Amino acid sequence: MGILENKRLVITGAGSGIGRATSLLAAKEGASVLAVDIAESVKDTAALITSSGGKAMAAQADVSEESAVIAFIDQCIDTFGGIDGLHANAGISGGRKSLQELTVDDWQRTLSVNTIGVFLAVKHAAAHLVSQGNGALLCTASVAGLRANAGGIDYSASKAGVVSIVQTVAYQLYGTGVRINAICPGLIETGMTRPTFDLAREKGREDRIGQINPTRRAGQPEEIAQMACFLLSDKASYVNGQAIPVDGGLSASHPWAFPRTPS
Ligand SMILES: NC(=O)c1ccc[n+]([C@@H]2O[C@H](COP(=O)([O-])OP(=O)(O)OC[C@H]3O[C@@H](n4cnc5c(N)ncnc54)[C@H](O)[C@@H]3O)[C@@H](O)[C@H]2O)c1
């Protein structure tokens, strides 16, 4: 029996990368998945699950639109008979503009998807979970939300906001039986980071990717999905209010220089 047997989950950003990998693994672990994404590719995610015997439905929606969020939470309940968990994972990189280049429009766009989008999904899923007295909420933050040098100013602040949502909402949900946590991925090879990987490969520098963490490589979306499914499952029953890095050890260190090999 899978660790998510009979769980009914909403997973956003499910058309690609971490959200797709989490949807596929969750279904394999027994969950029914409402896969949500603004991109049409979310239909492929649902088709991949159903073609291998799992339960899934796709919803194309923008997580920054409150009416759309209410609609996809309701769709999960209508389709699967309820909701047991949410992975608010959809996000955008926001680019890498400098302090002087960044505009208010840039900020509003990044925050509307990465932070307000997470808030809306958490808010509307929690309303159902609290009334039934159990459930698991999970958000994708980032190591960029913990420290500098993993994203632009707007992106990093948007992810620090996600960490704060998780910490404060855990206490708003005090005694309700509903848990909330965040994953903070390091560098993971997905649609969002493809340009970095493509450029490194083009320059023959693929071996340099991920070298600043002690695991000495970038991560794969399936490695985030493993932690996501654990946190969404009852196996994580005493994990609450945490922002957990899954980053090959990147965030464990003070700044350091590569050790030189003696000549
Ligand atoms: N890839 C990394 O290295 C990395 C590191 C840390 C955190 N993250 C976070 O992981 C999450 C997943 O990203 P990914 O790396 O899998 O990238 P990805 O680009 O492969 O997937 C993100 C998905 O979110 C969807 N999305 C974007 N805006 C949306 C909106 N308004 N409404 C609904 N869906 C929307 C996209 O269409 C896409 O399918 C993001 O929150 C990202 O910030 C990624």
Q: Is the CB of 142 under 6 A from ligand 1?
A: yes
- The mean predicted confidence, pLDDT, of the chain is 96
Cβ of residue 32 lying under 6 Å from some atom of ligand 1: no
For residue range 157-180, what is the model confidence (pLDDT) as tens digits?
999 999 999 999 999 999 999 999
Does ligand 1 have an atom closer than 6 angstroms to the CB of 247?
Answer: no
Query: Which residue owns the Cα nearest ligand 1 atom 31?
Result: 62
- Amino acid in position 138: L
Mean pLDDT within 26-53: 98
| pLDDT tier, 260 (very low <50, low <70, confident <90, very high otherwise) | low
Ligand 1 near 13 CB (within 6 A): yes
pLDDT of residue 263: 53
pLDDT tens sequence across 202-250: 999 999 999 999 999 999 999 999 999 999 999 999 999 999 999 999 9
**Could you tell me what percentage of the chain is helix, strand and coil, using 3-state DSSP and rounding each to the nearest 5?**
45, 15, 40
Read off the pLDDT band of 261 (50, 70, 90).
low
In 3D space, the residue among 9, 18, 62, 57 whose CA is nearest the CA of residue 39 turns out to be 62
pLDDT of residue 259: 66
Whether 155 is a known active-site residue: answer yes
Would you state the structure tokens that stand for residue 234, as one six-digit string?
């009852």
Residues 34-48: what's their mean pLDDT? 98
- Reference 8, options 61, 79, 72, 69; nearest CA is 79
Q: Percent of the chain having pLDDT more than 90? A: 95
CB 42 less than 6 A from any atom of ligand 1: no
Is 13 in contact with 2 (CB distance < 8 Å)? no
Catalytic site residue from 155, 171, 174, 238: 155
Secondary element (H or E) of residue 71: helix 66-80
User: Up-side HSE of residue 41: CA atoms within 13 Å toward CB?
Assistant: 11
The span from the CA of 217 to the CA of 9, in Å, is 31
pLDDT one-digit tens code per residue, 116-157: 999 999 999 999 999 999 999 999 999 999 999 999 999 999
Contact 83, 76 (CB under 8 A): yes
Q: Which atom of ligand 1 is nearest to the CA of 224?
A: 10
Q: Into which CATH architecture does domain 8-189+221-244 fall?
A: 3-Layer(aba) Sandwich (3.40)
Q: Is 162 helix (H, G, I), strand (E, B) or coil?
A: helix
**How far is ligand 1, taken at its centre, from the CA of residue 186, in Å?**
13
Query: Rounded CA gap, 114 and 157, in Å?
Result: 10
Q: What's the pLDDT tens digit per position in 104-115?
A: 999 999 999 999
For the chain, the domains span: 8-189+221-244
User: Could you tell me the distance, in angstroms and rounded to a whole number, from the CA of residue 124 to the centre of ligand 1?
Assistant: 20
The band of 257, judged by pLDDT with boundaries at 50, 70 and 90, is confident
Q: How confident is the model at residue 255 (pLDDT cuts 50, 70, 90)?
A: confident
